A and B are shown apart, each in its own frame.
Chain A
Amino acid sequence: QVQLQESGPGLVKPSQTLSLTCTVSGGSITSGTYYWSWIRQSAGKGLEWIGRFHTSGSTNYNPSLKSRVTISIDPSKNQVSLKLTSVTAADTAVYYCARGGRVHDNWGQGTLVTVSS
């Protein structure tokens, strides 16, 4: 059973970079044809897809966030990473990593990130 676990700072200052890691256990992130997505959930905007990485090396991002987002993987650690630059209070949310293609069939528990000085 593949499990996903997000980790990273729970508090980030405005204008700084949010960095999160998703550690995948029970299976290799480089096997199969899955995409590895980051999705966030805030009270104001509900569920919002941030972007995804495919093991082929391709990435896709939400156009509304594209200029600030980078998603990458570290196969040696079986991890997927998210970097979001120039954060503001509007980036405060629970951040999830999720596996999928057309749908997300496996989610991490999520990690709350608050942007505040």
Chain B
Amino acid sequence: EIVLTQSPGILSLSPGERATLSCRASQSVGSSYLAWYQQKPGQTPRLLIYAASSRAAGVPDRFSGSGSGTDFTLTISRLEPEDFAVYYCQHYGNSPPMYTFGQGTKLEIK
């Protein structure tokens, strides 16, 4: 079973700064199967990035995803007040079908 480890657990930054969030897989995974979600307090998770680097519909271009193999990154180029939330990475494995989530990174206002 793939284990996803996200770091840091908490990231404190100011609006306008650049955020870099990491997701490390316990073994190499295909980029097509790595996604990122954003969850604000009291809200449902929202798909941000799929296939490691493709933005979902309506996602601002300040959000970008990159990586391959075991190391993936979500970057927010210039933080807006509405970006402070918890971010999760997710892997989809198809043999057998299984979805695994990281434990999340909380992005908080410094």
A binding-site residues for B, Cβ under 8 Å: 37, 39, 46-49, 52, 60, 62-63, 96, 102-105, 107-110
Contact = CB atoms under 8 A, between A and B. Distances in A.
Nearest to A45: B103
A109 B50 CA distance: 21
Contacts of A60: 96-98
Given A37-B99, A49-B98, A104 B45 contact: yes
Interface in B18-42: 32-33, 35, 37
A47 B45 contact: yes
Contacts of B99: 37, 39, 49, 104
A48 B51 CA distance: 20
A103 B35 CA distance: 7
B104 A46 contact: yes
A60 to B, nearest CB: 4
Interface of B: 32-33, 35, 37, 44-47, 50-51, 56, 88, 90, 92, 96-104
A103 B47 contact: yes
A108 B88 CA distance: 17
Given A102-B51, A104-B99, A107-B46, 11 more contacts: A47-B88, A47-B101, A48-B101, A63-B96, A96-B45, A102-B32, A103-B35, A103-B56, A105-B47, A107-B45, A108-B44
B92, B99, B100, B104 — which one has the most chain A CB atoms within 10 A of its CB? B99
B90 A103 contact: yes
A52 B38 CA distance: 22
A86 to B, nearest CB: 22
Contact of B47 (A49, A62, A104, A110): A104
